[in-house]
Structures are given as structure tokens and as C-alpha cells.
């Protein structure tokens, strides 16, 4: 049995932690934020909740479809599609956390809690060879984690998994130049997101507005309160989440939140042709690392000698072809976490 540190409690980190603990390993899950979920995020506000990260996700592979079906049966996600049509064609399954995107991660984390030592508000700054082993054998066989406040965590880990966005993983994986380089070469698109609420419904706008112009301002405007069981907030008639395009987000990376709100609400009015008043509630969030346009083809990264691994949506891009649908970020994160756990279980000693 090994003691494994998993850095990052998004879908990938939660998945790898779940599989490793089920195989009998001891797992510590270290997350820099207040709670799990990462980019499957929900922001609470006086105007109600907003799913301001991934709004939903598809399930295209048999393994993930089975997992999503189990989550649905547990009441953790709401699912659309997937029914077999008369033609024999099975529509892709699309799911969202129920009642919020973040609920899914919270439920997975809760189901782990007995076997996994979960530490939130714990940002990891670096992964360092264990002094103890270096002195005894001259070879590095264990790891310790230095936290952002400079403290060296006292736990010695046999293996470490890095389950954070590629750019942040590249920094943490410095002990393995190949893994670090693989992550350095993988880029995430930024995404400015606006959460806005109005006292009324916006005239003529339906639940979702998508733009196909990659050089425009808005890529998606989605009515967030239209989801099942979202509840009503007095004085709020509609809540919307607006996503800027990667192009616009990169070009306005350091813009002030107030300007981003004005620009995105203005773009919604222009692009939809609807006259839109100023919202009664508005906030902006910058995802510096939003989605990965070109994930690596390998399922995950694992250095069996160093016992250092990497998983997440930067991986599991597979070989794309006309006959293979694109696998979205949440599904890739889950597939990658599972693939890494299985590889580790095969290679780590059992006792």
C-alpha cells in the first residue's frame, strides 16, 4: 500500500483519488480552493447561483456514459439525450451537475471522505524529493510537498499526482523534465465569464445564444435560471452567464471587471439585436486557464521510476478523426484520471 498525494480536486483529481483509494492505497487530496470542483464551478450570489465554469458536459465513450448514468441514478446529475432513436442512433448524452455543476464534485468528494484525507485551502507550491530517502539511499524514492506559504508539509508520499491545468502542472512537475515539457507545450484558452441578472426576462431571447465567430466578443450566452430546480430569487426574473471568445478573452486578459461586464452585456445586445437594460446584479470571473483546444493524445503521464504522474483535461485527446466525436474537457478529465489511476495501480507495490 502506498501513500499518494493528489494535487487538485477537480474531476480528474477526484477520479484518480477514488480509484486509488478503492485499490487500497492511502490518498491525500490537496486543493488550493475552499472546496472541490475546479472548473465545474458554481458561484453563489444574492441574485442566485451561477454555473460560471463548464455549463454541462457530453459523454461520448461507453465508460463515461456508464459513469454518468450511475451519477444520474444517485441524483448527482441531470441528463438529457442518450435515448436510442428509431434509427438505432444513440444521441450523445449531455449532463450537468444537479442542481448545480459544483454539486457533482461535492458529492464525489463526500463519497470519498472516509478513505481520503482531503485538505482544502492548501495550495501546493512545489514537489520536492524527500530528504530522508535522498540521505539514506542516494536515490530519490519519496516526495514531500512545499505549500505556498513556504512550509514543507510533514507527510512523506510514495507517489504524487498532479491534476491541475497544464500551465500550472508544468511548474509542479519540474522534477520530471519530460512531463513538465509535455505540459509546457499544452495551452489552455482563457475565458472571461460574466454572471448577470435582470428583474425581468430578456425580450425575445431564448435559453441559449451561441456565436460561431471566433473573432467576435461573445461565444455563448446561456440563461442559467432555466435549469431544473434552480429556485426563484425575489426580484430576479432571469440570470445569464456570458462567455467571451478565447480571442477576445486573451486580448482583454487584464481588463477591469466592470469593463468586461459592459462589453459582454453590450455584445449580447448587439449580437442578438435585443435592447438590454443594465443588469441589477453583475460579476465577472476570468478563467486564465479555461478550455484546452489541443489536448495531448496520450491518456495521462506517469513516470514509474520517479512515481510522479499527471492527469486532467490537458490529456486524453486521442487520435481525432472524422468518425470520432470530440471528447470535451470534463469527460477527458475523468478518462485521464481513471487511466492514470489504473497505470499506477499496476506499477505501485501492494504492501
Rounded to the nearest whole angstrom, what is the least distance from the CB of residue 148 to ligand FAD in the complex? 7
Of 330, 339, 340, 341, the one binding ligand FAD by CB under 6 A: 330
Of 30, 24, 29, 16, nearest to 342 by C-alpha is 16
Site string for ligand FAD, 249-288 (x = CB under 6 A): --------------------------------------x-
Measured CA to CA, the distance from residue 59 to residue 54 in angstroms comes to: 14
The kind and range of the H/E element at 14 are helix 11-22
Q: For strands 26-30 and 3-7, give the pairing.
A: parallel
Query: For residue 149, which phi and psi values (nearest 5 degrees)?
Result: -80, 5
Q: Counting contacts by CB under 6 A, is residue 144 touching ligand FAD?
A: no
Rounded to the nearest whole angstrom, what is the least distance from the CB of residue 138 to ligand FAD in the complex? 29
Site string for ligand FAD, 173-212 (x = CB under 6 A): ------------------x-x-------------------
Let me know if 203 is exposed, middle or buried by CB neighbors in 10 A (0-12, 13-18, 19+).
Answer: exposed
Site string for ligand FAD, 30-59 (x = CB under 6 A): xxxx----xxx------------xxxxx--
Stretch that binds ligand FAD, among 27-35, 75-83, 106-114, 266-274 (CB under 6 A): 27-35
Of 329, 335, 341, 344, the one binding ligand FAD by CB under 6 A: 329
CB 312 within 8 A of CB 8: yes
CB 40 within 8 A of CB 64: no
Measured CA to CA, the distance from residue 54 to residue 177 in angstroms comes to: 31
Rounded to the nearest whole angstrom, what is the least distance from the CB of residue 291 to ligand FAD in the complex? 5
Stretch that binds ligand FAD, among 18-26, 134-142, 210-218, 324-332 (CB under 6 A): 324-332
Of 2, 334, 281, nearest to 158 by C-alpha is 2
For 61, the 3-state DSSP assignment is coil
Measured CA to CA, the distance from residue 187 to residue 28 in angstroms comes to: 28
Rounded to the nearest whole angstrom, what is the least distance from the CB of residue 145 to ligand FAD in the complex? 9
Rounded to the nearest whole angstrom, what is the least distance from the CB of residue 40 to ligand FAD in the complex? 5
The DSSP code for 160 is: E
CB 39 within 8 A of CB 51: no
Closer CB to ligand FAD, 25 or 39, in the complex = 39
Q: Counting contacts by CB under 6 A, is residue 106 touching ligand FAD?
A: no
Q: Counting contacts by CB under 6 A, is residue 291 touching ligand FAD?
A: yes
Closer CB to ligand FAD, 47 or 300, in the complex = 300
**Maximum CA pair distance of the chain?**
71
Q: Counting contacts by CB under 6 A, is residue 313 touching ligand FAD?
A: yes
Distance of CA 68 to CAs 75, 78, 129, 136, 330, Å? 10, 9, 38, 47, 11
Of 13, 48, 299, 309, the one binding ligand FAD by CB under 6 A: 13
Q: Counting contacts by CB under 6 A, is residue 227 touching ligand FAD?
A: no
For 286, the 3-state DSSP assignment is strand
Closer CB to ligand FAD, 55 or 279, in the complex = 55
Interface ranges with ligand FAD (CB under 6 A):
7-13, 30-33, 38-40, 53-57, 123-124, 163-165, 168, 191, 193, 243, 287, 290-291, 312-313, 328-331, 333
Amino acid at each position: 500500500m502506498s501513500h499518494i498525494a493528489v494535487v487538485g480536486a477537480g474531476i480528474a483529481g477526484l477520479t484518480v483519488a477514488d480509484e486509488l483509494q478503492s485499490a487500497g492505497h492511502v490518498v491525500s487530496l490537496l486543493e488550493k480552493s475552499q472546496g472541490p470542483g475546479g472548473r465545474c464551478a458554481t458561484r453563489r450570489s444574492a441574485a442566485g447561483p451561477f454555473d460560471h465554469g463548464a455549463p454541462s458536459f457530453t459523454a461520448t465513450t461507453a465508460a463515461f456514459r456508464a459513469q454518468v448514468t450511475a451519477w444520474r441514478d444517485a441524483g448527482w446529475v441531470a441528463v438529457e439525450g442518450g435515448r436510442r432513436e428509431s434509427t438505432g442512433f444513440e444521441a450523445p448524452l449531455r449532463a450537468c451537475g444537479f442542481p448545480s455543476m459544483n454539486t457533482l464534485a461535492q458529492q464525489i468528494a463526500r463519497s470519498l471522505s472516509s478513505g481520503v484525507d482531503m485538505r482544502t485551502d492548501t495550495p501546493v507550491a512545489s514537489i520536492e524529493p524527500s530528504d530522508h530517502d535522498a540521505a539514506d539511499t542516494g536515490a530519490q524514492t519519496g516526495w514531500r510537498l512545499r505549500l505556498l506559504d513556504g512550509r514543507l508539509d510533514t507527510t512523506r508520499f510514495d507517489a504524487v499526482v498532479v491534476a491541475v491545468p497544464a500551465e500550472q502542472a508544468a511548474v509542479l512537475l519540474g522534477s520530471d523534465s519530460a512531463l513538465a515539457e509535455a505540459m509546457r507545450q499544452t495551452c489552455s484558452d482563457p475565458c472571461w465569464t460574466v454572471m448577470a441578472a435582470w428583474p425581468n426576462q430578456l425580450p425575445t431571447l431564448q435559453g441559449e445564444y451561441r456565436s460561431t465567430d471566433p473573432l467576435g466578443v461573445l461565444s455563448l450566452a446561456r440563461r442559467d435560471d432555466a435549469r431544473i430546480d434552480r429556485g426563484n430569487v425575489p426580484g430576479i426574473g432571469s440570470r445569464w452567464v456570458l462567455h467571451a471568445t478565447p480571442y477576445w478573452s486573451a486580448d482583454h486578459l487584464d481588463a477591469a471587471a466592470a469593463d468586461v461586464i459592459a462589453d459582454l452585456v453590450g455584445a449580447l445586445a448587439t449580437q442578438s439585436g435585443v435592447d438590454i437594460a443594465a443588469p441589477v446584479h453583475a460579476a465577472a470571473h476570468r478563467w486564465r486557464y479555461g478550455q484546452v483546444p489541443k489536448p495531448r493524445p496520450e491518456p495521462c503521464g506517469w513516470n514509474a521510476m520517479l512515481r510522479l504522474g499527471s492527469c486532467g483535461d490537458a490529456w486524453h485527446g486521442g487520435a481525432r478523426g472524422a468518425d470520432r466525436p470530440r471528447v470535451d474537457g470534463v469527460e477527458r478529465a475523468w478518462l485521464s484520471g481513471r487511466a492514470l489511476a489504473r497505470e499506477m495501480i499496476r506499477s505501485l507495490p501492494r504492501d
